[in-house]
Amino acid sequence: MENYAVVGNPIAHSRSPFIHAQFAQQTGVNIRYTALLAPLDAFESTVITFRKNGGTGMNITVPFKFEAYSLATRWTERAQAARAVNTFKFEQENGILGDNTDGIGLVRDIETNLNFPLANKHILLMGAGGAASGVILPLLQQQPNLLAIANRTSSKAIALQQQFATHGTILGGHYQDFVGQSFDLIINATSASLHNALPPAPAELFRNATLAYDMLYSTKLTPFLEFAQSQGITKLADGTGMLVEQAAESFLLWHNIRPTTQDVIQKLKAELS
């Protein structure tokens, strides 16, 4: 039996073992998938030990995605662009393939599950940390008309604009800089919801949007989704679907089988409610 784990700190809350157990049952692939707590200063040794004990692959979560990028020995294009890794596939001679399935997970949830094609849309992405940078390339690959990155610290958004400028139409700035623009979709990639806070986005930015998406998953509406609702946006989504879709993409990389996700998303929503 192949051994997999999700590694992070904290990790007790992780839903990945549940999701991968569902995929394994559904596809008949025989795996063990556990949650592994790594001390904050011992990510690398935790990975090495897991591998020595027969590990085949890993998912990596907060706060280790950047360290995971450094530890990989080769990268997929999307991991290279994000400079962050959430999936390891162990290869011969101590090689590690690093992938990042977060962005494609978000895109699949929005386009397929929520039936919201991204081509030609105006997208506002709020936040310029690791969560935001991980999803920019897959979003641009859907050829939106504009991807605007708004951040409290505008220099970080401008740096992302420069980093991804060759991949599509992308702008970076402070929230205020985008007043006067019209957006179809607003995505919250800040960590504000974790602190029950709302990013300082002026209400005008929400005026024409039809979908608000919080990348965080939560048992109740986040302050961002509550605000979006109060501004008349009717389609609201949290990151539950993204979580299952990024897991499905890791599962595909490891086992060459794409599991179905709708049933697992429904089960996970039921678990979380």
Sites of contact with ligand ATR (CB under 6 A)? 127-132, 151-153, 156, 190-192, 197, 199
Nearer to ligand ATR (CB atom), residue 51 or residue 152: 152
Maximum separation of any 2 CA atoms in the chain, in Å: 56
Nearer to ligand ATR (CB atom), residue 95 or residue 200: 200
Beta strand 2-8 with 31-37 is: parallel
CB of 65 to ligand ATR, least distance (A): 7
CB of 215 to ligand ATR, least distance (A): 8
CB of 14 to ligand ATR, least distance (A): 15
Nearer to ligand ATR (CB atom), residue 156 or residue 269: 156
Is residue 65 part of the annotated active site? The answer reads yes
Nearer to ligand ATR (CB atom), residue 43 or residue 254: 43
Nearer to ligand ATR (CB atom), residue 216 or residue 244: 216
Hey, which residues does 124 pair with through a beta bridge? 148, 186
CB of 104 to ligand ATR, least distance (A): 17
Catalytic residue, candidates 52, 65, 89, 267: 65
Hey, which residues does 185 pair with through a beta bridge? 123, 211
CB of 190 to ligand ATR, least distance (A): 3
CA distance 157 to 203: 20
CB nearest ligand ATR: which residue? 129
List, as own/partner pairs, every contact residues 30-34 make where C-beta atoms lie below 8 angstroms and the sequence separation is at least 24, other chains included.
30/1, 30/2, 31/1, 31/2, 31/3, 31/4, 31/255, 32/1, 32/2, 32/3, 32/4, 33/3, 33/4, 33/5, 33/6, 34/3, 34/4, 34/5, 34/6
Nearer to ligand ATR (CB atom), residue 112 or residue 191: 191
CA 223, 225, 226, 230 dihedral sign is positive
CA distance 181 to 62: 33
**∠ at Cα 76 (72, 82), nearest 5°?**
85
CA distance 97 to 179: 41
CA distance 271 to 273: 6
Structural tokens at position 127:
């936040």
CB of 100 to ligand ATR, least distance (A): 12
* Cβ pair 109, 242 in contact under 8 A: yes
* Residues known to be catalytic: 65
